[in-house]
Amino acid sequence: MPIALFALAIASFGIGTTEFVIMGLLPEVAADLGVSIPSAGLLITGYAIGVVIGGPIIVLATSRLPRKITLVGLAMLFVIGNLFCAIAPTYGLLMAARVFTAFGHGAFFGISAVVAGTLVPRNQRAQAMALVFAGLTLANILGVPGGTALGQIAGWRSTFWAVVLIGLVSVAAIIAWVPSDRGASAPPSLMREFAVFKRLQVWLAMAVSVLAAAATFACFTYIAPILKTVTGLESHQITWVLLLFGVGITIGNLIGGRLADWKLMPTILGALTALIVVLAQFSYTSHSVVGACVSVFVWGCVMFILIAPLQMRVIECAGEAPNLASTLNQGAFNIGNAGGAWIGGLAITFGAGFDSLPLVGAALTVLALMIALLSWHLGRQPMAVASTG
């Protein structure tokens, strides 16, 4: 794989760390800024909103720029945003800095996925995208625990200073290693970017992304109380189970890239089917320590087998104008994350037990599978647009 992919992976590692590390630092942030922990938790929501809203705005604003220049600019936005987070004197300014940082998140992953696909032969495109997303998965294994520990020892601001350094390294790596746009004879057309949304296959692919993410987060948002009240684990033991999930998503991400380069739609359909089974049986295995640990690992693996294939599906369905569609698919994942957490909370409110949440996730995955089957069926028709079956 070209070294340019590692430059993009470094940036995705930093972005993934800054997105999720705040969850482990909520008590420190709340105490330092004089707000409640629920208020500090809104920093996570604010970031997600920034991803969804900011991605399309950034892509449209930079549509006529070369992709390498855009990636450098987005990496610099990430550095500046985290710098503002590190020095923010008040809760309001920290929230503003988090939203500002998030504006570049969706656009960076969307455009870097497109760039990754141009750096390798066609039969390695999904693997290239998976390598970029590997930075995000490693952030969950190394960046978030390491950043949390650093913040607890040296203060939460030290974590953001560390992320600033990672961002500067990524800027230098992108400048040095990512080649200029290949074969770009003319700037991308805004009209052409918008035209892809006339394609039903693009909407179907993004709907699968939303539902797949919602299926996982309807349950994973509440994984700590599941493991504590259903499985019977102590708080310090839950950390190790979450580490298993992180290892699973890293392995699954790499497997998904290889499988998607071999058979794209069969990989998506197979992974969705496996996710239904894993979530459904987790409702029962969550009552056993060994069963819960195995299920969480396999769950992480199967879920992230889907990520690179779904991103590649959207890009291929978008044809010659992939930037906006690819970026919006990142927003689709975030909408699914937030929506899944809400659906899971709603189920609890209406009396569902924690061990029933995996069944809620399985039901959402069934919907995703039905839409994916429809997309595959339409893609096999002679007059189908952007068939990638």
Q: Is 362 helix (H, G, I), strand (E, B) or coil?
A: helix
Q: Which domains does the chain have, with CATH numbers?
A: 4-180 (1.20.1250.20), 193-379 (1.20.1250.20)
Cα dihedral 50, 55, 56, 60 sign: positive
- Whole-structure pTM value: 0.78
H helical segments located in the chain: 4-20, 26-33, 37-61, 67-87, 91-118, 125-138, 144-154, 156-177, 190-195, 200-220, 223-225, 235-262, 264-285, 289-305, 307-318, 322-349, 357-379
What is the rounded CA–CA span in Å between residue 278 and residue 141?
A: 22
What is the rounded CA–CA span in Å between residue 10 and residue 6?
A: 6
What is the rounded CA–CA span in Å between residue 289 and residue 71?
A: 44
Count of beta carbons in the 10 Å neighbourhood of residue 176: 10
What is the rounded CA–CA span in Å between residue 302 and residue 335?
A: 20
Structure tokens at 81: 């945003």
> Residue 188: what pLDDT?
54
> Residue 383: what pLDDT?
41
Structure tokens at 306: 């889907």
Check pLDDT > 50 for residue 184. no
> Residue 182: what pLDDT?
56
pLDDT, tens only, 35-66: 887 788 788 878 888 888 888 888 888 878 88
Pick from 343, 200, 220: nearest CA to 278: 220
Highest mean pLDDT among 88-97, 241-250, 324-333: 88-97
Indicate the DSSP class of residue 230: I
Check pLDDT > 80 for residue 319. no
Confidence of residue 385 (pLDDT cuts 50, 70, 90): very low
* Mean pLDDT computed over every residue of the chain: 87
pLDDT-above-70 percentage for the chain:
94
> Residue 192: what pLDDT?
67
Interior/surface letters 114-132, b for 16+ CB within 10 angstroms, e for the rest: bbbbbbbeeebbbbbbbbb
> Residue 221: what pLDDT?
76
pLDDT-above-90 percentage for the chain:
41
